[in-house]
Structure 1
Amino acid sequence: MRHRIAVTVATTLLAGAVLSGCSGEERPAAKPSGTVLVPGKPGEPNRTQPAAPAKAPAKPTAAEIRFVQMMIPHHEQAQAMSVLAPQQASDRRVKALAKRIDLAQGGEIAAMQSWLRRNNVGTGAGGHGGHGGHGAKPSADPHANMPGMATPQQMEQLRAARGEAFDKLYLELMITHHQGALTMVKDVLDKGQDVVVQELAREVQSGQLAEIERMRDLQKK
């Protein structure tokens, strides 16, 4: 009987110790959500205070919105030119370059479209004319004044070209096209405050500068 009483008492004491340890009376309470710990002065305890409200991300500038809206159809024309290469180019290096341009600019288009949706901004384009839909024939070109864009007549010439004639015209048009994109990048680079657009502009700049050098090398061979 005494043994049973001792066990019961020990169990009760152990449960009390566990509850006491979990009560938070013998250890600092967790810092409330939305507060920051401020170190006290020498000899003074630390204290907590409400955290400063998070700063809202900077809104994109009008120049950045215009850059994205214009770069999408600009990239789409580069794709429309590049998808012709597998069947019409004669130089395997031109075909490989065109494939890289098509894939890279397709990825950038998707990123830019996503950015426009996140910022509740429209494309600013009523139709892509001669530079959309992977080779769709142009009607009217609403973006003809964008730097580096091939004219509808030049696009028709490229569609009709075969072999070395295609290689030559493709390189000429794409170099001009890339140079136009670099002009657009220059207009927005460091003039805005949206991290995504500024990073995209730098990627376009570095990638297309490298591709221009590559195309110029191909023109020499």
Structure 2
Amino acid sequence: MLGKQIRGRSRRWRTIVVVELAVVAVLVAGAAVAFGLGDDEPEPTASAAAPDPIALSGMPDASAPVLRPGRPGETAQKVPANEFTPLPSPSYNAADVRFVTMMIPHHEQALVMARLAPQRAANTGIAAIADRILAAQGPEIKTLESWLEARGLKRDAAADRGHAHGMSGMQSPEALQNLEAARGAEFDRLFVSMMSDHHEGAVKMALEAQTLGVDSIVNEAATSVAVEQRVEIQRMREALAG
């Protein structure tokens, strides 16, 4: 009886062991599929190796010569590329200097003509425009003089640079004498004619500075001259016609 019990227990243990081994086999097979470890996984081939490195061109020759532009009147020079330093951009140029140095005496002549109006003009509109010219162009002269002083330049700096040609719109001494001698309606007519021509010359100079100059302050002053003096020409003509 005891022997039968032992044999029965032995068969039950073998059954349990077989079942556990089957479970372990299933788990191992599942893990192999999940991680790509199956027998059908292809082996890496030579074509899967890293590509050959791309051939790069050599670095530029730092000693290769480049041309350094010379200053006005000077020839260009050849220097090694690693020694080349571009020249700094100028803060102002000859066009800026020309505008400032020419506009100062240009404005001063406008003040001379405008000061004649209070005692000679018959048209109150013409007299009022003359007052505005006095109020605007006097301070503008101070601004232009300060620009020169800040840069260590003289009023005749444009002449020193070879730009001393005539200022557009400037009136002759004879024309100024005729204006001074005129009274009433004759003064009004001469004043509008001469000051309009004078303003048109200033506008021409301002447009040149806007086109050729590089200084921001000069550009702002030139823009103001071009706009305001065009408006004043129209106002003078309207006042004279009215």
TM-score range normalised by the length of the shorter chain: 0.5 to 0.7
Number of aligned residues: 149
Segments of 5+ residues of structure 2 without an aligned counterpart are 1-87, 158-163
Provide, for residues 65-102 of structure 1, a one-character-per-residue CA deviation record: whole Å limited to 9, x for no partner: 01100000000000000001011111111111001011
In structure 2, the residue matched to 1:11 is: none
Instruction: Work out whether 1:215 is the aligned partner of 2:236.
Output: yes
Paired residues for 1:115-154 under 5 Å: 115-124=147-156, 145-154=166-175
Task: Point out the structure with the larger helix share.
Answer: 2
Identity %: 42
Paired residues for 1:34-49 under 5 Å: none
Q: Which amino acid aligns with 1:215?
A: M
TM-score with structure 1 length normalisation? 0.64
Aligned with 1:155 (options 176, 180, 186): 176
Q: Which amino acid aligns with 2:97?
A: I
Root-mean-square deviation (CA), in Å?
1.7
> 1:219 deviation in Å?
2.7
Change in Cα spacing, 1:115 to 1:152, as seen in structure 2 (3 Å) is: same
Rounded Cα–Cα distance in structure 2 between residues aligned with 1:145 and 1:159: 23
In structure 1, the residue matched to 2:186 is: 165
In structure 1, the residue matched to 2:96 is: 64
Rounded Cα–Cα distance in structure 2 between residues aligned with 1:217 and 1:89: 15
Higher Cα Rg, which structure? 2
Instruction: Work out whether 1:92 is the aligned partner of 2:148.
Output: no
**Structure 2 contact 113–191 (Cα < 8 Å) conserved:** yes
TM-score with structure 2 length normalisation? 0.59
Rounded Cα–Cα distance in structure 1 between residues aligned with 2:241 and 2:230: 17
Segments of 5+ residues of structure 1 without an aligned counterpart are 1-55, 126-142
In structure 2, the residue matched to 1:108 is: 140
In structure 1, the residue matched to 2:51 is: none
